[in-house]
Structure formats: C-alpha cells, structure tokens
Amino acid sequence: MRLVVAGSPEAAVPSVTTLAASEHEVVRVITRPPTPQGRRRVLSPTPVAVEAQRLGLPVLEARRLGEIESELLPLAVDLGVIVAYGALVRPPLLTWPRLGWINLHFSLLPRWRGAAPVQHAIIAGDAETGATVFQLTEGLDEGEWFARLTTPIGAQRTAGSLLDELSRSGADLVLEVVDALAAGTAVARAQEGEVTLAPKLERDDAELHWAEPAEAVHARLRGVTPEPGAFTRWAEQIIKIHEAAIARDAAPLPPGRVRRTGGRVLVGTATHPLELLRVQPAGKQSMPAADWARGLPADREPVFT
C-alpha cells in the first residue's frame, strides 16, 4: 500500500523506520517544523525529520496538516499512519486516504485518551498500560481499535523508559495492522470501558507534594521524568529531582524533612521516606544526592515545601 506517515518526536521514529523497511511504500513523511532546542536554543529538526532524511523519504513540515492540504490531496494514498504528530487531522484530509488514518496511541484505550497517556498512567499508579492502534476519527482518540498490546508498568519505570519501550513494540503493532488492512483481514472493535483523559502535563504538574504517601510522590516523580521534570522547593530555590526510591527500611520523617543518614539522603512523606539518588540544584548540573547534601547546613535539617 501507499502510505503517508505523520509524526514528530522520538517515540514516532520506530514506526517510520519499520514502515519504510516493509513492503509498503511511504510516499510522504509529515512532521512539525524545526524548534529551538537546548540552552543555546539551536533550531533543530524533529527526530522524525532526521530519520526520514536518513532513509531518503520525502518530508513535509507543517504545524497543522491544513497548511499543506494542497500538496497532499492530489496524492494517491491508501492509508495514513499517525504517531504523536502533535496536531489534529480534520476533514477533508481525515478521509483523504482510501482507508483513512490509523493512530498508534500509547495506552489501553479508552483509558488515557489525550496527549500524555504514559505519564498519566504512571502518576495514577496503574499496574499496566500498553499501546493501541485505532481508526482515527474527529473525536479525541475514540475510534474503533484494530490491535493492542499490554505491558506491566512496574515500580521503577519512568515515563521516558516506558515510552521508549512502547514506541518500539508499538511500531511492530502498526505494521501488523497495516498488513491486515492491505490483506482485507483487519477487524475493528468498539472501545469499551471507562474513559479517562490524559491532557498535556504542565510545569506545575511536576511539583512533588511531600504530604502525600510515598507511593504517590514516587509515581509522580517517575511520571514526569524526563519531561516536564520533577521538582521541589527549598529556601526559595527550585531543586529538580531526577531519581529517587522509596526507603521502606527507614524510620518515618515529617513530610518534606530532609535527613542525611549513613550516606543516604532521605525526605519525609506521609508514609515511608523517599531516598534521593540524583538531584539538580538551581543553576547546576545533575549530581548524586549525597554530593548535594554535603553542602547543606550542618546545624539543621532542611525542609522541602
């Protein structure tokens, strides 16, 4: 089949690579324009653009598909595949491919419809999540689904590591559905179950609240890592928390109280303390928490707020 593939971040790259290596023809790759990246704000293409160019695939850059409608509609395309493109597909482009569009979504739909499904699944303490390939419709992630996979979340995975795994296994799932659609054997099923929403996370969503139980604090930390990045406040400073673990063997501490003991750096929660492993003080590089703690006042225990 003749395919058009739309995607932007690293999570979409495995699908582009897998489809390009298949028997199907990728006639266009659509991605968002370059954006400023890093401290020096260097204008950089999306990871999908970089991969498409490496593969020699023709690339179209647009913030919204409507911007390139006149370039797309004349093309004869059997199927559109969208993976984390970052914009909606609206008519007439929604029905432009012969078989419409399929979407790889990183959740077990209808749970966690929206922009940040992996992050919300971890923050909510879900035991498992997965990926779903479904028929794109005008509604938010509500089309009938063709295939899905599940995976346990575990107690240590971050949103970044889980999304990386799902993007690779999800790419194989996409190809499975594309092959089935080409063969006429694909079966669409209605979504069933409770609908939950996963809106994009803002910076305030990444602040840790030490009065919550340790499991909830740790889940939020993992769910916002690497983006937007967990943080807390101390002495009018922002401290980023990159890695921590629940210290079930440690004595309880008041919420937010920081204690150095036996080479460990512990912070109190409503239940067990959290052991800080890597932190990043304001204006500095990421460092082991023990190195940061050596610079704390010797005569008092700090309190995170």
The H or E element that residue 119 is part of is helix 117-123
| 109 labelled ligand-binding | yes
CB 282, CB 238: distance < 8 Å: yes
| Residue given tokens 């067990």 in the structure block | 272
Beta strands (DSSP E) in 154-295 are 231-234, 237-246, 258-261, 264-267, 274-281, 287-288
Give CA–CA dist 266/261, Å, rounded.
Answer: 8
Q: Is 107 annotated as a binding residue?
A: yes
Q: Answer yes or no: are the C-beta atoms of 290 and 263 closer than 8 Å.
A: yes
How many CB atoms sit inside 10 A of residue 263's CB? 7
Number of C-alpha atoms within 13 angstroms, CB side, residue 191?
25
110 is in an annotated binding site: yes
Encoding tokens for residue 197?
Answer: 């929403």
Say which residues have a Cβ less than 8 Å from residue 283's Cβ, sequence separation at least 6.
none
Q: Binding site for (6S)-5,6,7,8-tetrahydrofolate: residue ranges?
A: 107-110
Q: Binding site: residue ranges?
A: 107-110
